[in-house]
Structure 1
Amino acid sequence: MNSKIPGPNTICTHIGEVEDQQFKGAISPLFMSSSYAYEDVEVKRYPRYFNTPNQEALCKKIAMLEKSEAALIFGSGMAAVSTAMLAFLHKGDHVVLPQTLYGGTYNFVVEEFHKFGIEYSFAEGFSEADFSEKIRDNTKVLFVETPSNPLMRITDLEMISKLAKQHDLVTMIDNTFASPVNQTPADFGIDIMIHSATKYMGGHSDICAGTVAASEEHIKKIWNLAKNLGGSLSDYTVWLLERSMKTMVLRVKAQNKNAKKMAKWLENHALVENVYYPGLKNHADYPLAKKQMSGYTGMLSFEINEALNVGKFLKALKLIKPSMSLAGVESTILSPAKTSHGLLSPEARKEQGISDGLLRFSVGIEETEDLIADLEGAFEAVSNKNLV
């Protein structure tokens, strides 16, 4: 292979493979050992140190996809988020985050940071002024999430990077909803990219994992804490994740296409009040999404008519699964008020614009005609009982 950086499909298929030197198999062999020799070896391997053969190989794939120097793999997305933040935040430090934050991250911040003496502020909007006014003398990190969960708001990454550099801050992004297929934040100067690899990287609803990609310097700092917290991933799951990522670009592009079709159909439905998808031209952040994303993701949210019973609507679905998590090849749907943002108070959900009628729709790779038929059937089932 020449010095040219390979394309994303090639990276997903070939970079970060473990060579099968014994049998010359076409895929990476799996090394399950939890105990390795320490004498007369170049690397003293230990699973909790994130340096087993399968761990090291997959980190190369993730780093190249995110256009960074290095990466680490964790046992969950929240293990990646918490370890990355705590590596750069200490007693007396301050972090600025968006108010429209994934519920798990929000709960981690408000429930745990006071125990460490870490201060935090939530930006109330998405403009430079919204973030800038929250920065203090002791601020160390700017953390963003774009597209946001579940309302799909877009944050200007170039603006965040420039603002952080003005104040000598470290920038972190939860890039889960976009995936590296649709967005590479390093192109805009973001320092640290975080994913719940449970989602688009895994893509089959059978893996729980997280990743962090950054410079060698930043990864070393995160690793120094990670080895003590013990959030490493089993090698079997690492192997499954590497297997799954080979088809990530194909899957995500198919989901992008389907999601845009579903968003257009939903916005024209009489029983849908609002649709939140950055690929729609009437979305508040469409110009920005078009500028910094190569695809608009397979995620969208919509609000159904307030006269409809959300629980009955979900139960009426036959194909789309009412299910936790997202980004699998199968379409899933959930009520953020009861699941992803259930840990937030009703007041906090209201501040974020999350109504009881909001549904988050993770569009899979099925034929859109079948998805439309399933949604229409659910609308008919509940509208006959709720609307006169």
Structure 2
Amino acid sequence: MKKGLNTICVHSGEVEDKVYKGAVSPMYLSTAYAYDGLETSIYPRYFNSPNQHMLAEKVAELEHAESALIFGSGMAAITTAMLSILKSGDHVILQNQIYGGTRNFIIEECEQYGIHYDFVDVNNLEKLKSALKPETKLIYIETPSNPLLEITDMAGVTKFAKTHNVLTMADNTFASPINQTPIDFGVDIVIHSATKYLGGHSDITAGAVASSKAIMKKVFSKAKNFGGSLADQTVWLLERSMKTLNLRVTQQTINAQDMAEYLENSDYVDRVYYPGLKSHPQHELAKAQMHGFGGMLSFDLNDKCDVKKFFDGLKLIKNVLSLGGVESTVLSPEKTSHSLLTPEERKAQGIKSNLVRFSVGIEDTKDLKRDLQMAFASSLNTK
């Protein structure tokens, strides 16, 4: 019988306490273990400590993958996975709207590796066809995207990719495996910044990669050379945090829907970007491939409001970097996650100076609405 999500979150990937029979996984802090042969010996830099191994099992099961690895950060996961697939002379297609850190890696680092790239609208089949080259080895997507919650047609992209013998990789950070499982739509490799929803308490930096055993063998080969394994104290914290993943993300998703509807009817907001709204241009696509619409949304303040005054006026909602925690947070993508893009690139992506990214937490939404309303009132432009 198939296990439910809460059961997987709580019990999958537990380390059994065989000595004291404790209810939670023991933490293994040793960096030196007995030699039992090269294939079976534990060496934490090789991602195979008891805690690392079991947490990887939990992530793999949640993502419907055969195997997974846990990394020291989301960018460690992304870069290691990409460079496991791509070599000098290869070509990668990336969707236009992705996390700024991923875009920076591609633009700033790929040239020295001899890797070529193109950013395209991957939902446009003709543009995908135009970008495809004989040396294309990977199509990289992020859905929902950061920060405008663009939805990528995963089934459409993977069908195209498989026709041309190209692998696909999806950043599933915004949705989490609770709301979306890309492998079910044909995606080959799934990436997470586990700092966000998997950790969920703004106190962990980690990443994850999940895929088939064959692909993960390549990822592991590159990972042990690059480093990037996660310390077991943090692995243990992440495993503990993931026990409540379904509970947290489910409530964040409920709250985000409520807040999106509130903001869509606000006199201080021009537009809300949330796939759960019927006004979202890809609402039906999101319904078809997501179990829930997630806890992230963005909105454009209208010209009644001064952006800085709005941020300063918030008391409960924090203006901080990162996302996915139990506490609600906001930030300006123009100033933070996408600050290294040129003004022209931001304009092309629709990222404006009045755009606010909102990571909705688990608080009571009546309190979040009250906080926003006070911030709106305090941000009014005066002549």
Give yes or no for TM over 0.5.
yes
Which residue of structure 2 lines up, in the alignment, with residue 38 of structure 1? Answer: 35
Task: Report if aligned partners of 2:333, 2:339 keep a CA contact under 8 Å in 1.
Answer: yes
- Please tell me whether residue 141 in structure 1 is matched to residue 145 in structure 2: no
Q: Deviations over 1:107-156 (max 9, x none)?
A: 00000000100000011352222322211111000100000000001000
**Alpha-carbon distance, 1:271 to partner:** 1.2
SS of residue in 2 equivalent to 1:163 = helix
Give % identity: 57
SS of residue in 1 equivalent to 2:229 = coil
- Please tell me whether residue 53 in structure 1 is matched to residue 44 in structure 2: no
CA distance in 2: counterparts of 1:177 and 1:14, whole angstroms = 24
Letter in 1 for 2:171: D
- Please tell me whether residue 348 in structure 1 is matched to residue 345 in structure 2: yes
Q: Deviations over 1:334-373 (max 9, x none)?
A: 0000011111111111111100000000000000000000
Structure 2 vs 1, CA of residues 71 and 381 (structure 1 numbering), >3 Å: closer, same or farther? Answer: same
CA distance in 1: counterparts of 2:55 and 2:235, whole angstroms = 7
Q: Deviations over 1:199-246 (max 9, x none)?
A: 110000000000000000000000000000001000000000000000
TM-score (norm 2): 0.98
Report matched runs for 1:150-189 at 5 Å.
150-189=147-186
CA distance in 2: counterparts of 1:104 and 1:306, whole angstroms = 29
Task: Report if aligned partners of 1:278, 1:289 keep a CA contact under 8 Å in 2.
Answer: yes
Which residue of structure 2 lines up, in the alignment, with residue 71 of structure 1? Answer: 68
**Is the deviation greater in 38-47 or in 279-288?**
38-47
Task: Report if aligned partners of 2:94, 2:122 keep a CA contact under 8 Å in 1.
Answer: no
CA distance in 2: counterparts of 1:57 and 1:178, whole angstroms = 23
CA distance in 1: counterparts of 2:125 and 2:180, whole angstroms = 20
Structure 2 vs 1, CA of residues 11 and 338 (structure 1 numbering), >3 Å: closer, same or farther? Answer: same
Task: Report if aligned partners of 1:94, 1:139 keep a CA contact under 8 Å in 2.
Answer: yes
- Please tell me whether residue 380 in structure 1 is matched to residue 377 in structure 2: yes
Report matched runs for 1:263-342 at 5 Å.
263-342=260-339
Q: Deviations over 1:260-280 (max 9, x none)?
A: 000000011111011000000
SS of residue in 1 equivalent to 2:57 = helix
Structure 2 vs 1, CA of residues 42 and 155 (structure 1 numbering), >3 Å: closer, same or farther? Answer: closer
SS of residue in 1 equivalent to 2:209 = strand
Task: Report if aligned partners of 1:308, 1:387 keep a CA contact under 8 Å in 2.
Answer: no
Task: Report if aligned partners of 1:99, 1:352 keep a CA contact under 8 Å in 2.
Answer: yes
Unaligned runs of at least 5 residues, structure 2: none
Q: 1:83 aligns with which of 80, 84, 87?
A: 80
Which residue of structure 2 lines up, in the alignment, with residue 370 of structure 1? Answer: 367
Q: Deviations over 1:1-27 (max 9, x none)?
A: xxx231111111001000000100000
CA distance in 1: counterparts of 2:127 and 2:152, whole angstroms = 11
Unaligned runs of at least 5 residues, structure 1: none
Which residue of structure 1 lines up, in the alignment, with residue 105 of structure 2? Answer: 108
Q: Deviations over 1:70-118 (max 9, x none)?
A: 0000000000000000110000000000111110000000000001000
Letter in 2 for 1:358: L
CA distance in 1: counterparts of 2:49 and 2:184, whole angstroms = 30
| CA-atom RMSD in angstroms | 1.1
CA distance in 2: counterparts of 1:285 and 1:256, whole angstroms = 17
CA distance in 2: counterparts of 1:188 and 1:315, whole angstroms = 42
- Please tell me whether residue 28 in structure 1 is matched to residue 25 in structure 2: yes
CA distance in 1: counterparts of 2:303 and 2:94, whole angstroms = 31
Letter in 1 for 2:20: F
Q: Deviations over 1:19-62 (max 9, x none)?
A: 00010000000000111111479721111100000000001100
CA distance in 2: counterparts of 1:351 and 1:71, whole angstroms = 35
Q: Deviations over 1:157-214 (max 9, x none)?
A: 1001100101101110000000000000111111000000001100000000000000
CA distance in 2: counterparts of 1:376 and 1:387, whole angstroms = 17
**Is the deviation greater in 345-354 or in 234-243?**
345-354
CA distance in 1: counterparts of 2:127 and 2:104, whole angstroms = 21
CA distance in 2: counterparts of 1:152 and 1:248, whole angstroms = 21
SS of residue in 2 equivalent to 1:133 = helix
Report matched runs for 1:85-100 at 5 Å.
85-100=82-97
CA distance in 2: counterparts of 1:319 and 1:387, whole angstroms = 25
TM-score (norm 1): 0.97
CA distance in 1: counterparts of 2:107 and 2:99, whole angstroms = 12
Letter in 2 for 1:235: D
**Alpha-carbon distance, 1:387 to partner:** 4.3
- Please tell me whether residue 201 in structure 1 is matched to residue 198 in structure 2: yes
- Please tell me whether residue 216 in structure 1 is matched to residue 216 in structure 2: no
**Is the deviation greater in 304-313 or in 314-323?**
304-313
**Is the deviation greater in 159-168 or in 131-140?**
131-140
CA distance in 1: counterparts of 2:251 and 2:219, whole angstroms = 34
